[in-house]
Chains A and B, each alone.
Chain A
Amino acid sequence: MSALVPAMELSGVSVNFGSVKALQDIDIKVYPGEVHCLLGDNGAGKSTLIKVLSGVHRPSRGQILVDGRPVAFRNPREAQAMGVATVFQDLGMIPLMSITRNFFLGREPTRSSLPFSRMDKERANSVAKQAMADIGIDVRDPTQAVGTLSGGERQSVAIARAVHFGAKVLILDEPTSALGVHQAAMVLKFIIEARMRGLAVIFISHNIHHAYPVGDTFTLLNRGRNRGTYAKSDISRDEVVSIMSGGEDLKVVEAEIEALLASIAAQRPAAAL
């Protein structure tokens, strides 16, 4: 990567919950203009890691650095203020409120600073529409309720909001997991768009088919440990899958299933007819 200073770095981070070691000695460097995929099967520590990155949990040991400086987030708002924006799976949006109202929630543009000063709704609507158009989303009507949007559209609004409000590091928690093929493709496009704007994108997923096409770097987590960070040129899709599942090759699983099916068929030969 061209930049020398990582936009965000974890150095020797461990998280313990009582006697449970959720994360151990995690080192990750994420550079501006890079999509860094954090991959892992269920229970690998992805959720804990994202909570450390976004400021929900504080590491038991180790350091977090933003632009080379050590930081200690006390809550997600502090992380946001330092340019680390996280789009959680609940998306931080309120379904019954309009796109614009959600977009500006907590950062409403007003004409003066008095508590009851008029909210500049015209400007808010046009800014929200423009911010989404910038990353390639066409909003039919910014006053429609977020609840009327599809999952992919909601995800896109959340990403557009983070980009618009000056995020340097964009953390996406399983952004494609609940989406259909078309919608997932749409979200993946926005991830690339964000990368081209120079953001550092941390893309957490367990779906290699979504992560591999857009990722530049892959960090593989397994049972709370970092199993290695690889540039895309150094690792194939199959290798990623194999490491993610802890060496348990899918082919082995397939063979086991086939053997099981064969034994069932052997026990009940008449059932097939």
Chain B
Amino acid sequence: MTAVEQQVPDLTSQENRFGIKPKRAGGADERLAAANWFTKLLRRPEAGAAGGLVATIVIFALLPGAANLYSLQGAMTFLTLSAELGIIATATALLIIAGEFDLSIGSMIGFAGVVIGLTVRELGFPLWGGIASAFAVAVLVGYLNGLIVVRTRLPSFIVTLASLFILRGLSIAITRAVTGRTQIPYILDDVPDPATAGLFNGHVFTGFFRWMAAQGWIAARSDGIPFVTGIPASIVWWLAITAAAGYVLTQTRYGNWIFATGGDQEVARNVGVPVGRVKISLFICTACAATLLATIQVMEAGSADTTRGLLKEFEAIIAAVIGGVLLTGGYGTVYGVLFGSLIFGLVQMGIFYTGIDTDWFKVFLGLVILAAVLVNTYIRTKALGGGRSR
């Protein structure tokens, strides 16, 4: 560097004449405001969702019906709603961060249920075989969605909109052709496989809940069995998926590729990121998440319905956006989606318990989406140091 520094002219005289401090004088940049812990917290992408969750909890605590909503039973109900949404929203969030949409997940929920129902009821598959078939179909659907998007470079919005109709149509047409109806009941009746079913409709910590009932801490029936027997498997799946997705996104090379693919796919491709493979694998993830949710619902209800999962694709996108995921890709966290799903479940049950006309739920939802997008935009400008927006 010495050679360069020798060429630098003496600026002292100019400094005196114009009263300017040369930038090369060094020292701390006086324009760089010290970021305090609060600003740092605000800069986290899930900050908006966390704040929104706290606000929602407080609002419903002040409304009538709070006692029921925040009772153990009420909490389990809204947590289950949050979990079912969270499972698909987490996968959706990863795909949105990679810059793509999957509108077919709602239809995939219905289709996967039909696959389980028909293979078990009509083809005599064991329960695990029916579930495995549904996941195999999901991998194929996700692969095809991804392949078409990557090969044709069409917007995934359009490609998966087509899959939305194709899968829903297939569900109804095949079910009606085979069974003459649009529902497949009694799936669990002739296949005694409680171990497999229990993976999806069971409860954990049942012993602990029974013990708490025995201590008189939680409400129980007269025979000593608590009303809430344990934590539903769906919540366990949700938390496990969130933790796994969070690890992959922030701690692994593949996670770095997801951000890069959504941030700028040409740049990513030029430095050697396998953009196509990243996208296809994430389309497979969303289809599999939809199938997991379908399996949970079929195991709980014991039946499959061709109309299941209607509009779930939009709820998943909403939860992701509330959670701070940028719709244009390249930015977001899965922990924010956890908060987004909680807000969603809480509001849905909260409105029910407070006795507000549930017709208002959709109005409220629309307002929440709008607020979430505004907060996201604000936070992103913060993340980029303010002033810049792109």
Contacts and interface: CB of A to CB of B under 8 A. Distances in A.
Contacts of B264: 94
Interface in A115-173: 115-119, 121, 136, 140, 145, 147-148
Size category of the B interface is 20 to 34
Interface of A: 76-77, 90, 92-97, 101, 104-108, 110, 115-119, 121, 136, 140, 145, 147-148, 182, 185, 188-189, 192-193, 196, 213
B384 A145 contact: yes
B258 to A, nearest CB: 11
B388 A192 contact: no
Contacts of A188: 4
B239 interface: no
Q: What are the 6 closest A-B residue pairs judged by CB atoms, nearest first?
A: A94-B263, A106-B271, A106-B272, A148-B385, A108-B253, A147-B384
A76 B384 contact: no
Nearest to A192: B4
Given A90-B267, A92-B267, A101 B252 contact: no
Interface string B216-257: 000000000000000000000000000000001001111110
Contacts of B252: 110, 115-119
B154 interface: no
A185 B24 CA distance: 10
8 contacts: A76-B270, A77-B272, A97-B256, A101-B259, A105-B256, A110-B252, A147-B383, A147-B384
Main secondary structure of the interface of B (DSSP, over half): helix
A119 B251 contact: yes
Interface of B: 1, 3-4, 7, 23-24, 32, 248, 251-256, 259-260, 263-264, 267-268, 270-273, 326, 330-331, 380, 383-385, 388, 390
B30 to A, nearest CB: 14
Contacts of B3: 192, 196
B248 A116 contact: yes
A118 B250 CA distance: 9
A122 to B, nearest CB: 12
Nearest to B97: A96
A271 to B, nearest CB: 33
Given A77-B270, A92-B270, A97-B330, 13 more contacts: A77-B272, A96-B380, A97-B256, A105-B268, A105-B271, A105-B273, A110-B252, A115-B253, A119-B255, A121-B251, A145-B385, A147-B390, A189-B4
A110 B254 CA distance: 11
Contact of A193 (B1, B380, B388): B1
Contacts of B259: 94, 96-97, 101
Contacts of A116: 248, 252, 254
A182 B260 contact: no
Contacts of B330: 94, 96-97
Contacts of B24: 182, 185
Nearest to A196: B3
B385 A110 contact: no
Contact of B260 (A105, A115, A148, A213): A105
B273 A106 contact: yes
Contact of B272 (A93, A94, A107, A118): A107
Contact of A104 (B256, B268, B383): B256
A145 B383 contact: yes
A147 B385 contact: yes
